[in-house]
Structure 1
């Protein structure tokens, strides 16, 4: 939705789970010398000022990245993510938070490509200015669900996709499923990271099972991780947690998350019932 601005939520617990997984996927893609293409369907502004008005309005980052910032005991997967966030803050203080295109830009090699989509005019302008001097990076003010179709398959036959729409309406849940089904038909070997919110909506609860059904077409199976850190409010609203669903995950990801998720649950949990889920169908 064009009214959505991720700056209000940057660096929260959902971003932590999403970007810990994202950094791990980028690292794995770098293991092979062959180039790859990153497609970010809902890229946002690229970076966010945590002391700006938007981030300060709710202060969600205080229950997310801020809880991790000074920890010296992070497991390897989380420590790598933290190193990337700190590289985005060269002054040594937590002032900026990198979005998924910024993390990709930091970790990609000169031969790799980024195709980023962002429909909000202001966020698109910020993102385009941030990536303007990078010829291998392309930013389009267009619908990322539709844009993905033109990006698969890439000529290199290696692709990594980030899909994290706002889900502010009900329509995004259905579009996610339809878009991923189409993506697998176009390029079944693509590695896709799909993020979703854990909220009191039937569509949210049903989404993982719907994704499992379509993931039968993924030659390397799927992985599903969820982190629940807080209770909904008295009316049943609020972001209790979030999940990531990975199509064609690296074989290393499950074991790395099995170490990282208990630690994240302990550090980010805001009530005694904080918990995590990790499941996988490997081929």
Structure 2
């Protein structure tokens, strides 16, 4: 439990992950029936971009701040701007930032709990699991008195057993481990298999780091072999040289993705790659199981 996301909040991996999360939440709100969201590795909820940890790495300047500059300068293609709008609006409103024609840089960044909270309606619920004791206490403080949010100091993999299926029958599970342990990819596959067996109709979003490309390919193969019928993979990479000692990209596994999400991501991710100023790597969307892109 050495990983602390405060050093990395708002970086390109966060931007890609949370932009997709916002799309999923937007689709869930399109229907009137209530939904539940389970976030298995929740963190502290919100991050101060002026804190020493964030300033020391400067990763937000290369991620969310750069994307906001591109959006506010009108440099995003129309389809991508529309797809990214729910995410960018939630980033600002969840941190109390003003929504005006000239907005400038942000001073705080919402983790997935605060980002998700921005989309909840009166009957929707958010269930948060965080194992780090200090982070769990911080998270409880963020949502103290919020009847729609439950914070549990518990292991995220255990949360999949404890909180699925939800009573609402609709919703989303975000699985975003820190990948500190050597077996985290194994636990990702096993955790998804368990969760899907308990709630096969839920939407699942699983984040994974891209360092060694062979690890990602093996993950896709194991998921294809799992028997889960509908799995979409989205990846955004920014290095081509094959070094495995650094983060080269960000990946998302999406189970039961909403209709035409593959097409939306096919437009959004290349624009995101360009807006973040990457000159290497690619944006890639493919079906691991089930539907195929024509």
TM-score, normalized by length of structure 2?
0.89
Aligned mate of 2:125, from 101, 113, 122: 113
Displacement of 1:202 in angstroms is 4.8
Displacement of 1:205 in angstroms is 4.0
Displacement of 1:231 in angstroms is 4.8
Match of 1:82 in 2: 88
Displacement of 1:68 in angstroms is 0.8
Match of 1:68 in 2: 67
- Aligned CA RMSD, in angstroms, stands at 1.8
How many residue pairs align between the two structures?
277
Displacement of 1:279 in angstroms is 0.9
CA distance in 2, matches of 1:57, 1:115: 31
CA deviations 1:84-108 (Å, max 9, x no partner) are 1121242544110101111111101
Match of 2:252 in 1: 244
CA distance in 2, matches of 1:37, 1:83: 21
Contact 1:225 1:277 in 2 (8 A): yes
CA distance in 2, matches of 1:53, 1:232: 31
Query: Does 1:167 pair with 2:179?
Result: yes
Match of 1:279 in 2: 286
Residue ranges of structure 1 left out of the alignment (5+ in a row): none
Displacement of 1:153 in angstroms is 1.3
Query: Does 1:29 pair with 2:28?
Result: yes
Match of 1:4 in 2: 3
Displacement of 1:258 in angstroms is 1.2
Quick one: structure 1 residues 209 and 85, their matched pair in 2 at CA, closer, same or farther if it must change by over 3 Å?
A: same
CA distance in 2, matches of 1:217, 1:102: 30
Match of 1:99 in 2: 111
CA distance in 1, matches of 2:147, 2:181: 35
Quick one: structure 1 residues 55 and 232, their matched pair in 2 at CA, closer, same or farther if it must change by over 3 Å?
A: farther
Displacement of 1:6 in angstroms is 0.7
Displacement of 1:230 in angstroms is 2.8
Query: Does 1:262 pair with 2:273?
Result: no
Residue ranges of structure 2 left out of the alignment (5+ in a row): none
CA distance in 2, matches of 1:85, 1:190: 25
CA distance in 1, matches of 2:266, 2:284: 9
CA distance in 2, matches of 1:110, 1:102: 15
Displacement of 1:133 in angstroms is 1.5
CA distance in 1, matches of 2:277, 2:211: 16
Contact 2:173 2:204 in 1 (8 A): yes
Quick one: structure 1 residues 266 and 277, their matched pair in 2 at CA, closer, same or farther if it must change by over 3 Å?
A: same
- SS of the residue aligned with 1:196? strand
Q: Which runs of 4+ in 1 moved over 6 A?
A: none
Match of 2:148 in 1: 136
- SS of the residue aligned with 2:212? coil
Match of 1:217 in 2: 228
- SS of the residue aligned with 2:97? coil
CA distance in 2, matches of 1:124, 1:204: 30
TM-score, normalized by length of structure 1?
0.92
Displacement of 1:209 in angstroms is 2.1
Contact 2:26 2:86 in 1 (8 A): no
CA distance in 2, matches of 1:95, 1:232: 33
Contact 1:230 1:269 in 2 (8 A): no
